[in-house]
Structure 1
Amino acid sequence: MTIFNLVDQAASYGAYHHNNVNKFIHIVFVPLILLTAFIFVDNLPHSAFLEDLLIPLNSISNGLIPIALSTPLAIALSLYYCILDVKVGLFSMLWINAANYAAVYSINRYGLEIATYYGAIVHIASWISQFVGHGVFEGRRPALVSNIFQVFIAPFFVTLEVVFMFGFLNRTRIEVDHKIKQNIIALSAGKSKKIQ
């Protein structure tokens, strides 16, 4: 499996997310997990030097693009998704950076302690809902159990699923669906290590 191949990445993740209810749960809760993860990243201890660097960067952006500890993560995810597919990557970039903005805004508006407290509640509830989706509807463990890297594919996958729902990238959808079916057969046969 190539980390820069859209079909490989989407099909690897999709083999664990084939049930429509589970997909919907992920479409709703993966963005909330990412938003709250940005709050947690912004909560990490950092040096006074970094804080002194963030203040002028934020004054340059004038609040339009918040610069925080989570911003490089949001940009890196967006760029990786653009490498997988430019159109899906740009669409991902919009909502990922909006989530980063919402995280920074909530910290600035409500304070780090309150934003972190409510962020933790939303984060835990979102993870629980996804485990319910896997246990009740999918009948298969989460992809991250086999490969922790799949955590970083989740936002791309849910974006791709929304793109597919609106009827875009049909040829890609057919390729991904075909590979997902192959991967599910491999999983069912107990050959999860051979998923491609």
Structure 2
Amino acid sequence: MARTGLFNLEKHFAFYGAYHSNPINIAIHTLFVWPIFFSALLILYFVPPFFNIPNFEFSLFGYDVALVWNPGFAIAFVYSVSYARLDLKAGSLAALLCIICWVASCFVAGLLGFCLAWKVVLVIQLVCWTGQFIGHGVFEKRAPALFHNLVQALIMAPFFVLLEVLMSLSGSEGFHSIVREKFEADIKAWQENKQQLLS
């Protein structure tokens, strides 16, 4: 049964797809979106936890890892639940990737410490955001989706690029063909509006 409202995958994918139809721009986002998500969790590791709950500690590759129940965990959890609600199969995979990013961010943060971690985060964020803006300005020739709907763009971005990869690997056109008409209509309307403004 198709979901409606907040958890309507077709609606969200069509919105995001309308801003990402150029193959080079899609490839740039595929490379850069998940590192942005990971590095955001990495810096959030150093934010104090919400509640006085003991950290979950374990050893990984001979290093001690402390999973901290802070805003990084909250964001990973919200993204995970949202993706699983949008689509059980692909969403569950995206949710697993979110949790892996959170655990990995805790591991890397423990290794680097704050003084080095924020520099790593800064470089990742600058490189990845710059790459995406180049993708939009040079190849897509359309402003990023976040200028239209910041929350929807930021939440959908990791799931969108994962869906693109899954569809290209499976060779399935089913879901993509369903939403293609929607985002092509959006692109056409945007181009017509842009033409009217220029004339």
Q: Is the alpha carbon distance of 1:88 and 1:135 closer, same or farther for their aligned partners in structure 2, counting shifts above 3 Å?
A: same
Matches within 5 A, 1:163-178: 163-167=166-170, 170-178=173-181
Match in the other structure for 1:120: 122
One-letter code aligned to 1:116: W
One-letter code aligned to 1:162: V
Match in the other structure for 1:40: 43
Report how many residues are paired. Answer: 184
Cα distance in 2 for partners of 1:12, 1:91 equals 21
Cα distance in 1 for partners of 2:5, 2:173 equals 21
Higher strand share: 2
Match in the other structure for 2:31: 28
1:84 aligns with 2:86: yes
Cα distance in 1 for partners of 2:118, 2:69 equals 15
Cα distance in 2 for partners of 1:125, 1:54 equals 35
Cα distance in 2 for partners of 1:169, 1:67 equals 39
Given that 2:43 and 2:117 are in contact with CA atoms closer than 8 Å, whether structure 1 keeps it comes out as no
* Equivalent of residue 148 in structure 1, options 142, 147, 150: 150
Match in the other structure for 2:53: 53
Alignment identity in percent? Answer: 31
Structure 2 unmatched ranges of 5 or more: 61-65, 195-199
Cα distance in 2 for partners of 1:79, 1:23 equals 24
User: Which gives a bigger RCO, structure 1 or 2 (Cα 8 Å, sep 6+)?
Assistant: 1
Structure 1 unmatched ranges of 5 or more: 192-196
Given that 1:2 and 1:9 are in contact with CA atoms closer than 8 Å, whether structure 2 keeps it comes out as no
User: Structure 1 segments of 4 or more deviating over 6 A?
Assistant: none
Q: Is the alpha carbon distance of 1:136 and 1:54 closer, same or farther for their aligned partners in structure 2, counting shifts above 3 Å?
A: farther
Q: What's the offset of the Cα at 1:168?
A: 5.8
Cα distance in 2 for partners of 1:30, 1:6 equals 19
One-letter code aligned to 1:85: D
Q: Is the alpha carbon distance of 1:54 and 1:117 closer, same or farther for their aligned partners in structure 2, counting shifts above 3 Å?
A: farther
* Equivalent of residue 17 in structure 1, options 17, 20, 41: 20
Match in the other structure for 1:4: 7
Cα distance in 1 for partners of 2:165, 2:54 equals 34
Q: Is the alpha carbon distance of 1:76 and 1:5 closer, same or farther for their aligned partners in structure 2, counting shifts above 3 Å?
A: same
> Secondary structure of the residue that 1:3 maps to in structure 2?
helix
Give the TM-score normalised by the residue count of structure 2: 0.85
Cα distance in 1 for partners of 2:172, 2:158 equals 17
